[in-house]
Every structure is written in C-alpha cells, then in structure tokens.
C-alpha cells in the first residue's frame, strides 16, 4: 500500500498537477515519503490519518512519557523508529497492566505462588474485599475482575486516551490528521 500511495503522489507531481488536497491512507506515514515523491512541493497538501505519531502533542503517561520520549526509548532499544503499530501494542500492554493492577488492588493471594491460569480462573486463589474493607459475598474470579477493571478504565497514555464502551471498543481514541 505504501508503494501505491507513492506512485499516486509521483504521478500528480510529474504532471505538476497539485490538488488542493489528496488523502492517502498509509504511505505518508512512512519516513522518507516526502523525498520519495519528489520533495516538499510534491508532498504538499497530501493528508493522512494516523492513530499515533511521534510528534503528537498533549499526550503523556507516567510509564512511557510523551510520544517523543517513547519514540526515543524505542529507537534506542530496537534500532529503528516506532510506527503506530508499535505504539498501539505498547499502549495496549500498558492499559492491560494498569487494569490488572487495579483489578487485584483489594485482593490477597491465598497461595504463595501460582500460575496465571490459577490467578485468573481459580476462585480459591484470591480473597478480595470491597471498598469498605468487607469480604466480598462471593469469591471472585480473577478474569472477571480484570474485565471489570478494563470496562471502568479511563486513562491517558503517550498513545492517547483509552476508554472502552460496552462492546469493548476504545471510544476515546482521537486520530490525528497529518500533512
């Protein structure tokens, strides 16, 4: 898809036919796009949408920091710049980690060590209390606690806001329009 977008932009540039706007879905997100289509004049007025970009502003969290900080740390670790797929994967893991932390914050682990299956599916693995400190009337299942925690989650990360609706879709994400 990247190549098709580049070829489309090059075709307009060769004819010196510059549209007021050209919307491409994937190619403009890749580094080197501007030079590959013939420079700034050829790339001017080409728009795309992205769920995340390293230069996005106004986003941050306490783990990854800002998009710029995330991108720098990612590149230092992996040797290349992250794209929106790397960022969404990182934000997903962070969201899940926060949900797990919140799910078990009022629970005690009955067994000194257990595997993930026991933690999530064994009703005898955990004992939890309500917000007033009283034992819950029914033994909770860890998996259900995590699902409830995700459903109640409303957080802002370096990737953007995360908040799920009843269909478990992130309804708070706001895509970026990039030129």
| pLDDT attached to residue 114 | 87
Q: How far apart, in Å, are the Cα atoms of 10 and each of 22, 130, 134?
A: 12, 62, 67
* pLDDT tens digits, 105-122: 999 888 878 899 999 999
Strands (E), the chain: 22-23, 46-50, 107-109, 126-128, 154-156, 161-163, 176-178
Largest Cα–Cα separation, the chain: 74
| pLDDT attached to residue 46 | 80
| pLDDT attached to residue 137 | 85
Task: Show the tokens assigned to 45.
Answer: 């007025």
Query: 52: helix, coil or strand?
Result: coil
CA–centroid distance for 54 within its chain: 12
| pLDDT attached to residue 131 | 87
Q: How many CB atoms lie within 10 A of CB 179?
A: 10
| pLDDT attached to residue 2 | 56
* Sheet architecture: strand order including 22-23: 22-23, 46-50, 176-178
| pLDDT attached to residue 65 | 97
Low-confidence ranges of the chain (pLDDT < 50): none
């Amino acid at each position: 898809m990247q190549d098709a977008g580049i070829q489309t932009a090059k075709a307009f540039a060769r004819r010196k036919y510059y549209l007021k706007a050209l919307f491409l879905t994937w190619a403009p997100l890749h580094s080197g796009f501007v030079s590959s289509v013939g420079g700034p004049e050829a790339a001017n007025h080409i728009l795309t949408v992205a769920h995340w970009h390293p230069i996005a502003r106004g986003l941050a969290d306490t783990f990854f920091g800002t998009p710029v900080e995330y991108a720098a740390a990612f590149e230092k670790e992996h040797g290349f710049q992250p794209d929106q797929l790397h960022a969404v994967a990182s934000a997903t893991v962070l969201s899940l980690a926060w949900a797990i932390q919140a799910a078990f914050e009022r629970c005690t682990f009955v067994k000194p060590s257990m595997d993930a299956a026991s933690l999530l599916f064994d009703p005898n693995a955990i004992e939890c209390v309500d917000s007033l400190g009283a034992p819950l009337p029914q033994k909770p299942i860890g998996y259900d606690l995590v699902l409830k925690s995700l459903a109640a989650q409303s957080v802002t990360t370096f990737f953007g806001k995360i908040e799920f609706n009843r269909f478990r879709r992130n309804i708070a994400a706001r895509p970026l329009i990039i030129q």
